Amino acid sequence: MDLNELRKEIDIIDRELVPLFLRRMNVSAQVAEYKRENQMRVLDPSRERALLEKISQLSGEDFEEYSRILYSTILDLSRSYQYKRLGTESPLYREITDALENTPRIFPDRASVACQGVEGAYSQIAAERLFKAPNICFFSNWEKVFDAIESGMCRYGVIPIENSTAGSVKRVYDLMISRKFRIVRTVRVKIDHNVLAKPGVALSEIREIYSHEQAISQCASFLASLGPGVKITRVENTAKAAEMVSESSRLDVASLSSRSCAAQYGLQVLASAVQDNGNNHTRFICITNHTEIYPGADRTSLMVVTPHKPGALYRMLSRFNALGINLLKLESRPIPDRDFEFMFYFDLEASVYSEKLAQLLAELEAECDEFSYLGSYSEVI
């Protein structure tokens, strides 16, 4: 047989397979109704294990693996269709619909906002992009920003989550695993790192530079060009670095900080925009301790723990594909004190009003070992 004849044979087989697949899905719908009437869960692990074992035996050694993959996908689709038939009425779905009804139509101009650092920090710049008149409270670390939100001391917190050059802020993701919060908005801030020193000092006189580790990473080429005679010292914040320079009795110290810190701390700019990549942006999340969803929310963030077995993450990602939901970001972090277990962080592009998003959330809530909805929001560019 030539290739065209073989393809015709496949076409004939497909015409037989599709009606059988549709017939199977229709029976799945009847199964869903039975489970509804008898208050049974959609997922029946023992039934699926037995079915996959039977399929393996029927397929023979050569095709066993392929058949298991095929039927695992069919079972995923069957459960997805059952969830769709049963609807999305769950505690999380009610939380989201309540937030859509009760959240004000306009994002607030004024609010108490927690930021890490001191005056001039990039978190402050992000907060001022989000709010017209924020009442900013500064804290020494990100843990205390989360504490301020959880305790109700501040209504919102602004925290960096990733940089276009240096990547994700790992410590923030680790904190997110154990904290209770909701994301209500995100913002991208253009980052320009500048060398700041006391007035009258030349760049050639600098022997030590203070900055945050992310800024140091983003300016690696420039710092290397200064030679081994310049010490690089990590501090908790770029604005704190500028404050340290202004308060130091030394004239040979400088900071990598924002230009606004120069005016804030009476420093001069020795070198401007010294980051390695001119297109350098940091993305900040705005968090609160209860669910708020403002109009235009087209992104959703989730954290999920998948079963510790082969193919678990792939099967989850296949749900996004099947529902036509675009995945914007995937981050994995090890779970403390749990060997070889990971939390997966997802950013999804989907309107909060989408039925497909509601269906996805219902499926994940029902089937994942651990699942956290972090919020639906829009991003300020």
SS (H, E, C) 203-227: HHHCCEEEECHHHHHHCHHHHHHCC
Residues of the chain with CATH 3.40.190.10: 194-271
Rounded Cα–Cα distance for residues 230 and 204 (Å): 10
pLDDT in tens, 31-47: 989 988 888 888 888 89
Q: Which residue intervals of the chain bear CATH 3.30.70.260?
A: 88-103+293-381
- Please confirm, yes or no, whether 146 is among the known catalytic residues: no
The model scores a pTM over 0.75: yes
Could you tell me which CATH number the domain at 194-271 has? 3.40.190.10
> Tell me: the pLDDT tens digits for 61-99?
899 999 998 998 898 888 888 888 887 667 888 899 999
Question: For 5-25, how does the pLDDT look when each residue is reduced to its tens digit (9 = 90+)?
Answer: 999 999 999 999 999 999 999
3-86: CATH superfamily: Chorismate mutase (1.20.59.10)
Chain mean pLDDT for the chain: 91
Output the furthest CA–CA distance in the chain (Å, rounded). Answer: 88
At residue 133, the 3 state secondary structure works out as strand
Average pLDDT, integer, range 280-289: 95
**Percentage of residues in the chain having pLDDT higher than 70:** 99
Tokens of 342: 């990971």
* Per-residue model confidence as pLDDT tens digits over 136-154: 999 999 999 999 999 999 9
- The tens digit of pLDDT for each residue in 240-284 reads 999 999 999 999 999 999 999 999 999 999 999 999 988 889 999
Q: Indicate the CATH number of 88-103+293-381 among 3.30.710.10, 3.30.70.260, 3.40.50.170, 3.40.50.300.
A: 3.30.70.260
pLDDT of residue 302: 94
Residue 240 and residue 265 in contact, taking contact as beta carbons nearer than 8 Å: no
Q: Is 282 a catalytic residue?
A: yes
Strands, E, within 164-257: which ranges? 167-168, 182-190, 194-197, 208-211, 231-234, 253-257
**Range list for CATH 1.20.59.10 in the chain:** 3-86
Given 88, 186, 282, 291, which residue is catalytic? 282
Distance CA 372, CA 95 (A): 13
- Which own/partner contact pairs does 94-102 have at CB distance under 8 Å and 24+ positions apart? 95/291, 95/373, 96/291, 96/293, 96/352, 96/358, 96/361, 96/373, 96/376, 98/291, 99/291, 99/292, 99/293, 100/293, 100/352, 100/353
Q: What percent of the chain has pLDDT over 90?
A: 68
User: Above 90 in pLDDT, residue 1?
Assistant: no
How much is the pLDDT for 259?
92
